[in-house]
């Protein structure tokens, strides 16, 4: 194996070690964050959104440090479970590039998620007052 390949492998292992230390399991979390995490991993869409928000802001996490990759992951799971606010936040993260490979914005995906959130919001709101006039 040449020196370059060895260097690439060592750097890769170091990167994965550092990245792995940033990921927390529910058991490593404390208090309310731990409770939300345990609910989220059982499929509770509201808890998935809340956990995404905690990772997005860093609130309640060690060092209050945001983790946008984890925030995106949990927002997307909540969005796929039908949470409209999570759909919007997935759009925002795509737009800003937060939690994306290389932190590259993706306006096409952002618009897709904004549109989906708007459609779901409109569908859940029912008919508007103007549509009920004269009934």
| One-character DSSP codes across 56-104 | HH-TTSGGG---HHHHHHHHHHHHHTT-HHHHHHHHHHHHHTTTSGGG-
pLDDT digits 0-9 by tens, 82-91: 999 999 999 9
Residue partners of 86: CB distance under 8 A and separation at least 6: 45, 48, 49, 52, 75, 76, 77, 78, 79
* Number of domains the chain is built from: 1
pLDDT of residue 29: 77
Residue pLDDT tens, the chain, 135 long: 565 554 444 444 333 333 333 455 777 777 888 899 999 999 999 999 999 999 999 988 888 899 999 999 999 999 999 999 999 999 999 999 999 989 999 999 999 999 999 998 877 765 554 444 444
Does residue 5 lie within any of the structural domains?
no
pLDDT of residue 127: 53
Report d(CA 84, CA 126) in Å as an integer: 15
Listed in sequence order, the DSSP H helices in 23-67 are 31-40, 45-57
Is the pTM higher than 0.75? The answer reads no
Q: What is the CATH number of the domain that holds 108?
A: 1.25.40.10
Report d(CA 55, CA 108) in Å as an integer: 24
Does residue 134 lie within any of the structural domains?
no
pLDDT of residue 109: 95
């Amino acid at each position: 194996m040449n020196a370059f390949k060895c260097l690439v492998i060592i750097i890769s292992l170091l990167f994965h070690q550092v990245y792995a230390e940033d990921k927390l399991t529910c058991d490593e979390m404390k208090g309310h964050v731990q409770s939300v995490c345990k609910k989220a991993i059982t499929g509770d869409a509201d808890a998935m959104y809340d956990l995404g928000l905690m990772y997005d802001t860093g609130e309640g996490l060690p060092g209050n440090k945001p983790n946008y990759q984890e925030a995106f992951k949990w927002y997307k799971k909540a969005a796929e479970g039908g949470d409209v606010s999570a759909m919007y936040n997935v759009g925002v993260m795509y737009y800003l590039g937060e939690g994306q490979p290389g932190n590259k914005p993706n306006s096409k995906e952002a618009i897709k998620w904004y549109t989906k959130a708007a459609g779901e919001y409109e569908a859940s709101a029912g008919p508007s007052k103007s549509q009920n006039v004269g009934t």
